[in-house]
Each structure stands twice: as C-alpha cells, then as structure tokens.
Amino acid sequence: MAEPLLKVRDLSLTYWRRTGLFGRGSQAIQALNDVSFELNAGETLGIVGESGCGKSTLARCLLRLLRPSNGSIQFDGVDLLALNADDMRQMRQRMQIVLQNPFASLNPRLKGFDLIAEPLRTHAAMTRETMKDRVAALLTEVGLSLDFMNRHPHQLSGGQAQRIALARALALNPAFVILDEPTSALDVSVQAQIINLLIRLQRQRRLTYLFITHDLSVIQHISDRIAVMYLGKIVEETSSEEVFAHPQHPYTQALLSSTPAPDPKSDRQRIILAGTVPSALNPPPGCSFHPRCPQVMDRCRTLRPELRWTSADHRVSCHLFDALE
Amino acid sequence: MTLLKVENLHVQFTTPFGIVRALRGIDFELDKGDIMGLVGETGCGKSVTGRSIMRLLDENAEVTEGRIIFNKTDLLRLSEREMHAIRGDRIAMIFQDPATALNPLFTIGGQINDVLRAHSPAPAAQRRKATLELLASVGLPDPAQMMDVYPHQLSGGQQQRAMIALSLAAEPEVIIADEPTTALDVTIQAQILDLLRTLQRERAISVILITHDLGIVAETCQKVAVLYAGRVVEQGAVAAIFAGPQHPYSRGLLAALPRPGSRGTDLKVIPGNVPSGLERIDGCAFAPRCEFVMERCHRLQPPLFSLAAEHQAACLLHEDRVHG
Amino acid sequence: MKAARIEVGSSVWFLLRDRAAVVSMAFLIAVALSAVFAPYLTPYANQGRGEPELTAKFKAPGIAHPFGTDGLGRDQVARLMFGARRSLSMGILVVLAAIIIGAPIGMAAGYMGGWADEAIMRITDVFLAFPPLLLAIAIAAALGASYINAVTAIAVTWWPWYARLARAQTLSVRERAYIEAARSIGVRDRVIILRHILPNIMTPIIVQGTLDVGTAILVAAGLSFIGLGTQAPFADWGVMISDGRLFFLSGRWWMSTFPGLAIFLTAMAFNFLGDGVRVAADPRLRRML
C-alpha cells in the first residue's frame, strides 16, 4: 500500500496561561494530547467532538498556524515542523482550509474575483488575463456564474459565500483540504448542496479531506474514517460504518445517542450524559472522560487508558477493552 | 384543548430596502400540555412568530392582520400594560443565548427571587425554599450554592438551565423556546431537551419549540408546523409528518438530511433560494423551487388542506382530498 | 456621463438620510468653497489678504460691511473668508498628519504584539500624559511662531490618539477569520496589513478624524490667539478673535463675535458629520434611524 499522505505522531500543544496578580504564576492548558493518526491520499478523515475537544486546534497545528509543543507532522514525506518559513509558504499551496462561517472568513471589502485570485497572486506570477480565466474556471467548478466576480460577500447567501471560499481554497490545486465545520452555519437544504459539491470535487480532483464537525450525521455521510476527540485526545478511531454499527467508547456511544435523529419512531435508548466537558485547565486524572462515564470503573479514576487497536481497523482508548490485549 | 391559537398572522418590517413581509398568514394551534415545534430555515419567520406572540417585535415591525388567541383573549388587542401581566407571567420565553438573557449583575437566586416576589406575596423564607426547588427541578447541581452564583460562573448548559428555572418561576402556562440549544454542545443539548420533556410531562406546561433542526423536532415534539416564507406549509402530528411528509418542501427538507447509510449517495437538494420577503408573492411561495409545480401554483395561494385528523398541508396537489 | 448611483442601504445612502449630517456637510462645503473662491466672492480681496483701509476703521455691521470692519478698516467678511483658508486647512492638516503618523505605528504595534507593542504603547503614554494644549504651546514656542509650526506642534500632540485607535482596531481585526484564512494561504504579513487590515480599520479612523477636525480648528485658533500660529498680515479665525478681544467690551462686539461664531459652527458641523458617518458606517447603530 502507498505511503499515507499525512502522518501525525504524538502531536501535543500546551498553552501556558499567566495567572495571579502581575502574571507571576502560570497554568498549563493541554489543548492537544498525543494525537496520532494517518490519512491516505484521496480519503476523508472525519474528526468529531464537542467544543473544546481540540479539533480546531488540531487543524491549525496541521497548517502550522499554531506551533505544536511536541510531536511530528509528515505531509507527503516532508516533516512540516522542520520547514523554514519560506519552504512552509511554498507548502501552503498544497494544503488549504475552509472555515465554518464564510462571512467571517472572507474579507468583506474584497469582491469575488479578488477573493479567489488572492492565492494565485500570492504564489503564481500570471497575467491578469490568465488569472481571470482561472477564476472563471474555478467559479464554474463550484457552481457559480461569472458575475460573482463582482460581488462583495454581503451580497451573497451563505451557500454562495461558502462556494466562493471553496473556490479560493482550490485555486492552487491543493492535494489536501481541511474542512472546519464547513456546513455548520448553513441551512439544511444548502448544507446538502455543499456536501454534494465537496464529494464531487473530491472525486474529480482526488482530494484528501480532513473534515471537522460536531455533527455526526454529516460526518458519517462524507468520511471514510472517523476519529472521535474528547478533551484534546482521540478516544476512538475507526471506519465510518463501524462507528455507527459498533461504537466502543462510552463517549462515542453517548454522542451518537445525543444526536437527534429525524425519525420519531426510533426507539433507540438515549444515553444522557451528566455534567459538562471539564476544563482543559484541570483535566481529571486517569481517563479524562471518567467523571461523566456511565460505565466508570475504579482504575479509570487513576489510570490513563492508552489508545489501542481492538481490531484491524478500530482503535479505542478505554479500560473496558483492557482485557482484549 | 387549544390553549393558544394563531390565526392568519401577518407581520411586516419597514426597512431601508422596502417593506419586508416576514409573516404572510401564519395559522397554528397549540394544545394544552403539548410540545409544538415551529421548524424552518433561516428567514422563514419562525422567530418572528415567537416574538409576535410575546409582543416583543422591534419598532420597525407591524402586525397588519391576524389574531393571537390565548385563553379567549386576543393578545394583539391588549394594552401594553395588560400584555405586561401576561408576558413572563403566563407566557414565558427562553432564548438561544442564555448568557445575554440573564442579568449579569445579579445572582441566579436573586433573579428568581425577584420573579417570585412579583408573582405572589409569599414570605421570604418560603420564596427561598421555592427558589431552591426550582433550581433542583431544572437539574442544576447543588441548588443551595447556585443561589449565590452569577451567570458568568456557569457553563452554557447550566446558564440555559438557570434561564429555564427563571422562566418557570412565575408558573407560566406556555413557554416559547427560541432555538434553546443551538449554542450548546450535542451532549448538553440532549440534557436540555430531556429537561423540556420532563417539565412538559410533570408540570403540564405547553411549549412552542422554535428550531431549525428536524432531528430535535422528531425527538421532542408531539406536533410540528413547517414554515416556509412566512407561512405554514404543513402541520400536524410529528409521527404522521415524518412518516409521510405531504408538502414538497417538507419532503425536500427531510430528504436533504444525511442519515446513517446515506454515504456514497448524493443528498437530495432543493434547487434555488428562499424568496426574500421583499418580493411580492401571488401564488405558492415554494412554486419556483417545486418539482411538482403546476401552472396554477403561481397564481393561487394554497390554504391548509386537511389530509387526516392531525395532518394538514398547504399544497394544491392535495386540493381534491379536502374533507369537511 | 452617467450619474453615480447610490446603492440603497449602503453607508453613503444612510449618511444622506441623516438630516443633521447633510446640513453640516452643506455648511462645510459652503465654507470651503467661500475659502477657495474668496478672491472672486468679495470686492475686498486685498483687505482679506491683510491690506489696511484706514478710512474705514471700526465700522459697525451695515450694508457695505455686513460683519463690520476691524481696527485697520478691513472688511470682516473678506477677512473671515480668507481666514477660513488657514483655519480649515490647519484643522485638516493636523488631523491628516496625526493619522499618517499614528495609524501605521498603531497597526504595526497591534499586528506584531509582544515587546514592540509594549514599547510603542509606553511612548504614546508619555505623550498622552501631558495636557495636549500645553504640549502644543511648548512645541510651537520652541519651533517658532508660524502657521506650519503650529500645525506640526498640534499634530505631534495628536498622533498618539490615532496610534492607540489603530492598534485597538488592528487587535480586533487581527483575530478575524479572514486574516487566518489569508495566513493559511501563505500571504505575506506586509500584504495582510495593507490588503486585509488597513481597509477594515479605516472606518473608525475616518470617523474619529472627522470629529477631530473641529477640535483641531479650535486648538489651532487657540495657538493663533496667543500669537503662536498664523502671523500678520495674514489672518485666521483665532487671530481675528484675538484682534477683537480688546474692543469687545468697548462696544465693538462684532470683531470677535463673527470669527467666534465661525469657529463654533464649523466645529459643530464636523461633529454632526462625524456622528453621522459613525452611525452610517455601523450597521448596529443604523436601526436607530
């Protein structure tokens, strides 16, 4: 089998927050904790989790918008964290991100043409004519007419704005695109359009996606594999089908059961977790999910579970599966 | 028994761009003890409907037609003073963002106490007991301690619980919940929806749940009204509508949702865009996007046709099925 | 030529609906036009430039001289029109200079953060610790009394305000998602500042600038009043008030009153206009219209 496009090893990020009068003390916030995964070219890895689980921080570390404190990121055989600023700038052509709210991620002062042309201007020397052709081709590819070149973001609907953001991300023909909640700000009918478009683009351009969301129904539709994150760690990772058929981690099970299904007849049992996600400032000892876990055992309170393979394509970090070793 | 009835409600906003017709004849009924969902996409008028019932519309809004009957009185005809006695007291509202709806300067206990004092002349000790009970009933941990905390010391889910406790203090008959869980995480959302169901069951409170999420409606509501461009296009029992949606719009919405097993297939898409409230609409507002559109659809505005005891749809496809 | 269309709901459209702002704008345009075309609008252009007419000293307002004449017999209307050239230009130059110095420094501080930010902000603190008029007087006195030195002196006391404003705006714009989006593409810092930050912090700076022109005219008049600004034979409104002050109580009220009114109305007009721009540019405030 070919080498994975993206190899992430033991990625950790610790923020230090100054505390106390005059900021003398400091507290560690573990935003990411030993995150490891691999992603094959042309595949989609879904990352799902609630706010504060570290999924967006992970995306920003992969693009080196944030500096991880530990670990390594291999992209197409290149160690991203070892690149100097100029080489990293070059590398950015091959990896792009689409953010959640297109109205926030598009500069309100720029028109469609300038928004889509910006990556071209940054990385490629070309005449205005060539640039116009490229922008026109990109607009067509994302399903917009050419007069969108002259529109400001505030003249667009949410779906149209997200298409512009997509065209911009695709302008440099990247191999890898991070999609950070790209449909969360959109209405259901528009969400469906964007998801269909994303899948079509992936097939046509052989793109590799990292799809971040809190919405399990969206993620299962688009992902080959799914990683569930909780408090800065991957707690479970397996194929999309397997997550829904045989969720192993109690948190994954609760997440699945909490996601409202548009089916009033479903008699599935609801698991309603108590309490809220603890602060990353004071993560609980042992398994960080133990205070909310319906199946908590004694050792969960003191012993941190490792992320272990329970079958050929299923990893889980939970003491319930210790016996399988 | 019908507790609240909205009839032919029209609301328009005067804006720099012209007159925006936000509601173009909303009809629905809320039965006592039900949770009724108002569901639709951005701009369909679901929030405006909630605010109209509370008479909390912005100054540039105007109710041009219609009635809102609550216990035999038309809320739209009440004086501001009479409305004040109903708002919060008999119909309460909870909002998407509890952080801005709670007063940051007062403790949770203090805010609930204020409502209790305005509501009944009970002595202080009794009010304290009632406050503790309320805090416990919405599932806040350690109610005695919650008495003295300020809103910012609570998490989002706890703030929403506090907001619900506050809205319950005056023992309202109706709670209007406008996207109460949209700002919350999924596991916390499940907690809050569970709480709403419990309150409805144990206190027989009627709830209007405004949401964009069909999943929430399916899991929480008994009845639902689907809104499109300021009108109800389909309403009735949740079980009936989710099992067999009869309006092309509701059908399209349900088909557009990704579901387990949908991977590898194209999601169904509703072509086109929602009309802006500025456009004049003569026939069915959905006609330009509808796959079953007929020539008449552009001229005739379809009323709600009864399809079954608890199922109505506003679509000319069902014209011949009207009974009564 | 096709008439420029104003898009409904645009900032300009909102500004034109604000009556106070429109009246103020009209007034300011009238003042500016009368300053520019003063030589053609008054028969006493020479007097406006400072030439005495000793046969007509201290004339009270009347048909020939609606605002009267001064101690050297010069027509006050002509003096006001020529004075407007200096007073207006001083106010505008001061603000422009303050923005040109302050805004880039503030943007750099806000974007870079860290020690550079710290250092720049401490420097502005030093400037802001002095009472501004006192500092301006000291600088103007040190540089020597002249029109351009007065402008320099006031601008030097004023730029820290714009540095702080630009920094605060930059700090908030820097966190916007479109800045991160640009960084993720690999856009260079210099381009990010010019293309993405500058256009998005200009509105509050323009608003503040408009509001400040009125105040700057007042301060400039203050310097001229005490002799540190415009020098005879030229006049600005501050000089005119100063010239007339000795005669105010002896019945020749017109000499100080009319330039005083001119300053007051102009400053007020800039304030109304600035307020109008602020409301028109801020979608959250528009609802109140």
The model's pLDDT over C33-84, given as tens digits with 9 standing for 90+, comes to 999 999 999 888 888 888 888 888 888 898 889 898 988 889 999 999 999 9
Return the exposure string of C83-104: e unless at least 16 CB atoms fall within 10 Å of the residue's CB, then b: bbbbbbbbbbbbbebbbebbbe
Cis peptide upstream of residue A102 (ω within 30 degrees of 0): no
- Comparing C-alpha atoms, which of B21, B11, B26 is closest to residue B278? B21
8 Å CB contact between B189 and B177: no
- Comparing C-alpha atoms, which of A269, A247, A256, A266 is closest to residue A316? A247
Q: Which residues of chain B have pLDDT under 70?
A: 322-324
The model's pLDDT over C148-172, given as tens digits with 9 standing for 90+, comes to 999 999 999 999 999 999 999 999 9
Backbone angles phi, psi at B94, to 5 degrees: -120, 150
Which of B16, B58, B60 minimises the CB distance to C9? B16
CB contact under 8 A, B186 and A255: yes
CB contact under 8 A, A107 and C183: no
Is C164 in a helix, a strand, or coil?
helix
Neighbour order of strands in the sheet with B61-70: B18-31, B2-15, B61-70, B73-74
At C118, the amino acid letter reads E
Number of helices (H), then strands (E), belonging to chain A: the values are 10, 12
What's the ipTM? 0.89
| Touching subunits for chain A (3+ Cβ pairs under 8 A) | B, C
CB contact under 8 A, B157 and A276: yes
More confident residue, A11 or C130: A11
Q: Which residue matches tokens 């609240």?
A: B4
Chain A contact set for B269 (CB, 8 A) = 189, 192-193, 196
The CA distance from A137 to C47, in Å, is: 68
Which residues of A lie inside 8 Å of C (Cβ-Cβ)?
Answer: 60, 63, 65, 88-90, 92-93, 96-97, 99-101, 104-110, 118-119, 122-123, 165, 168, 172
The shortest C-alpha distance from A80 to chain B (Å) reads: 32
Among C8, C10, C176, C178, the residue to mutate for chain A (most A Cβ within 10 A):
C178
Strand ranges for B87-132 from DSSP E: 91-94
Is the confidence at residue C2, as pLDDT, over 60?
A: no
In DSSP notation, C29-85 reads HHHHHHHHTHHHH-TTHHHHTT---GGGTTPPS-SS-TT-B-TT--BHHHHHHHHHH
Question: Six-digit token pair at A325?
Answer: 């070793």
| Touching subunits for chain B (3+ Cβ pairs under 8 A) | A, C
Which of C184, C191, C200 minimises the CB distance to A65? C184
8 Å CB contact between B100 and B178: no
Is the confidence at residue C5, as pLDDT, over 80?
A: no
pLDDT at C7 (0 to 100): 74
Phi-psi category of residue C113: left, alpha or beta, with phi > 0 → left and psi -120 to 50 → alpha: left
Interstrand relation of B206-211 and B35-39 (parallel, antiparallel or unpaired): parallel
Number of helices (H), then strands (E), belonging to chain B: the values are 11, 12
Chain C contact set for A106 (CB, 8 A) = 178, 181
pLDDT band for C289, please (50, 70, 90 cuts): very low
Neighbour order of strands in the sheet with A176-180: A95-98, A176-180, A208-213, A44-48, A225-230, A233-239, A314-316, A308-311
Among C169, C185, C282, the residue to mutate for chain A (most A Cβ within 10 A):
C185
Q: Which residue matches tokens 């045989």?
A: A246
pLDDT at A129 (0 to 100): 94
Chain C contact set for B19 (CB, 8 A) = none
CA A29 centroid distance within chain: 20
Interstrand relation of B91-94 and B35-39 (parallel, antiparallel or unpaired): unpaired
CB contact under 8 A, C185 and A104: no
Q: Does B276 contact A at CB distance below 8 Å?
A: no
The shortest C-alpha distance from A92 to chain C (Å) reads: 6
pLDDT along chain A (325 residues), means of 10: 88 82 73 94 95 91 93 95 94 94 92 96 91 96 95 91 96 96 90 95 96 92 95 95 93 92 79 81 88 93 93 94 70
- From residue B41, alpha-carbon distances to B13, B38, B47, C86, C89 in Å are 19, 10, 11, 59, 54
pLDDT at C100 (0 to 100): 96
Is the confidence at residue C1, as pLDDT, over 50?
A: no
- Comparing C-alpha atoms, which of B138, B45, B55 is closest to residue B90? B55
Among chain A residues, CA nearest to B253:
A189
Backbone angles phi, psi at A79, to 5 degrees: -80, 105
Which residues of C lie inside 8 Å of B (Cβ-Cβ)?
Answer: 8-9, 13-14, 17, 286-287
pLDDT at C136 (0 to 100): 92
Is B138 in a helix, a strand, or coil?
coil
Contacts of A36 (CB under 8 A, 6+ apart): A8, A9, A10, A11, A71, A234, A307
Which of A88, A90, A106 minimises the CB distance to C178? A106
What pTM does this model have?
0.88
The CA distance from B191 to B195, in Å, is: 6
Contacts of C123 (CB under 8 A, 6+ apart): C160
For residue C264, the 8-state DSSP code is H
Chain A contact set for B253 (CB, 8 A) = 188-189
Percent of chain C scored above 70 by pLDDT?
96
Among chain B residues, CA nearest to C10:
B16
Instruction: Give me chain B's average pLDDT, please.
Output: 91
pLDDT at B323 (0 to 100): 52
